[in-house]
Copies of this chain bind each other. A is one copy, B any other.
Amino acid sequence: MFEYFSHKTVVITGAAGFLASHLCDQVLQAGGKVIGVDNYLTGQEKNLAHLTGNPQFRFIKADVSTDPTGYLPTEKIDLILHFASPASPPLYQKYPIETYLVNSWGTHQLLQYLHQHHPESRFLFASTSEIYGDPEQHPQTEAYFGNVNPNGSRSCYDEAKRLGETICGVHTRDLGMDVRMVRIFNTYGPRMNPRDGRVIPQFIMEALENKPLSIQGDGSQTRSYCYVDDLVKGILSLTASENGRGQTVNIGNPEEFTVSQTAQIIWQAIKPNTEPQLIFKDLPKDDPLRRKPDITRAKELLGWRPEISFNQGLQQTIEYFKKLVM
C-alpha cells in the first residue's frame, strides 16, 4: 500500500512519542529507513525499545529546536515527518517554552535545512485540531479559521501549531517546497502515556485501578476518537499521495461521544455489568466543548476513512494498559 516509502530515508521527529513511534513502525514495514529524533522531554524510550537492533532504524537523541546541522547526518534525506512536541495539555503547560519553540522555530529550522540541503524532499507537519480552538463551526472543515485564545494556558500549543502551519505555507508558496500538513484530531491506542491527562487513558487507568472515573465539567462535551492505526494510515496516505503537495488535511474519526458516554463505554469494556462511580471536576479554561472533524477532503483526496470501531480500538488499548499496570 505504501510503496512510496520503500528505500526512502525518513527523518521522524518526536519519534519516541505515542503517534510518531507508530509512524516509525509503519515506515519501516513499508521498506523505508528511519532516523528517529527525540530528546525524551515527553517521549518515552520504551516506545522505541522494540526497534533496537533493527538495521533500518537509527535513533538520534537531540532537541529539534536546535540547528539540524548539529544532529542530522549528512546523507540524503527524502522526507521529514515533524512530530516533535509535547501534545497533551498537562505536558505542554509544564513545558510552554519548549512547546512553542519546537512548533515554530523548530519547524522553521527543519524546513530551512531541507531547503538548503535537499530542496526536492518532502516535509509533513503534524498540526492539530487544537488550531480550531473552541470551534463555532461543526464539524470543522479545513477552511474554518478557528476560535483560539492567543494568551491562555493552551496558547503555547495552539498558537505555535498555527504559526507552524504559516511557516509551512511560506515554504510552500515562496520557496516552492513540497510541504503537507495534517490536522490530527483526538487519537488513542497503545503507547499513550497513561498519566498525560487525556480522557481515554485516564478512564482506562481509573477503571483498571477500580477507582471512580473523574469527569471534567458535566461530561456533556463531545469528543471524537480515532484509533491510532487508522490515523497512521491517514497520515502516511497524505505523505505518500501525489495529490498531497501543499495540502492541509483533517485526519480523525467523526463519530462523536460525550465524555460521559466515553466513561460508560470504557467502564463496561473493563468491568462489564457493573456501574462506575463518577466524580465531576471543574472544566479547565478554554477546554473545547465540541470537536468533530469534517473528513470530506481526506476521503476525496486520499480515499481515506477510519475503519476501526471504537469498541475494537478500545480492546487493543485496554490490553496495552493492562500490561502496564500488571
Contacts and interface: CB of A to CB of B under 8 A. Distances in A.
Interface of A: 96-97, 100-101, 104-105, 108, 131, 133, 145-153, 155-156, 159-160, 162-163, 165-170, 173-174, 181, 248
A156 B173 CA distance: 12
A141 B196 CA distance: 35
A162 B165 contact: no
A149 B153 CA distance: 22
A306 B19 CA distance: 52
Nearest to A154: B166
Contact of A145 (B105, B133, B167): B133
A65 to B, nearest CB: 10
Contacts of A148: 145-146, 162
A169 to B, nearest CB: 4
B145 A169 contact: no
A97 B166 CA distance: 10
A172 to B, nearest CB: 9
A97 B170 contact: yes
Given A145-B149, A151-B165, A152-B169, 10 more contacts: A100-B170, A150-B165, A151-B169, A151-B248, A153-B173, A155-B165, A156-B166, A159-B159, A159-B165, A162-B162
Given A145-B133, A150-B145, A100 B163 contact: yes
16 contacts: A96-B170, A96-B174, A97-B108, A100-B108, A100-B163, A105-B105, A131-B150, A145-B148, A145-B149, A151-B165, A151-B168, A152-B169, A153-B173, A159-B159, A159-B163, A159-B166
A155 B167 CA distance: 9
